[in-house]
Amino acid sequence: MKRWVCSYTTFALPIIFTAPLSGRLSDRYGRYWLFLSGLFLTGVIFCLYSLPSVTAWPIIFISIAEGIVTSIARSSLDGLLADIIPQDARGKVQANYSAAGLIGNLIGATAAGLLYGYSTGLPFLVEGLMLLGASLVLLLPGIARMFLAARQNVQAEHIEAELIEESAVER
């Protein structure tokens, strides 16, 4: 039990310290590719958790890496959602997104508990493979184009708003 408490702490602390940097990276280099990278790396990390040879010390280091990668993925995803959702629908979409996350936590915890009965590493392996699969699906050209086009539209809107603001200041 103690190792999992330590694992959660070493997961949460890096998020606190890296979230602001992750947000700036997301703003500078694009949200889609950082989110996709974070999702893929989180899948790899969960597959590492499933290894039977993982003991307390490796779990601590894996948890730190998970916290950093989760920070990058989460910051990028939050920004990406804000970019692609129209202003008037953001509240509803964010509420649905939060509700879906809570439902996923409930279902995931139940499924993990059932899988844990077969093998302690099986829940981690299943989640890791699901994350790796999701990252591959998001690489499909149609989906990637949709997210990248949304980002370009947002950048164009920001440039247009800045130009309007500058012309108003000049008058």
Segment 136-159 shows an average pLDDT of 70
In words, the CATH class of domain 2-170 is: mainly alpha
DSSP 1: -
Question: Residues 6 or more apart from 91 whose CB is under 8 A from it?
Answer: none
Segment 35-57 shows an average pLDDT of 89
93-128 pLDDT, tens digit per residue, is 889 988 998 998 899 889 988 998 898 889 999 999
CA angle 106, 107, 112 (to 5 degrees): 100
What's the token pair of residue 88? 């008037």
pLDDT at 165: 64
Segment 56-85 shows an average pLDDT of 87
Alpha carbon 94 to its chain centroid, in Å, reads 15
The one-letter amino acid at 33: W
Return the H-helix or E-strand segment holding 107. Answer: helix 90-116
- In degrees rounded to 5, what are phi and psi of residue 6? -65, -40
Minimum mean pLDDT among 3-17, 63-77, 128-142: which range? 3-17
pTM of the model: 0.78
Q: 23: closest CA among 77, 98, 64?
A: 77
CA distance linking residue 166 with residue 160, whole number of Å: 10
CA distance linking residue 6 with residue 12, whole number of Å: 10
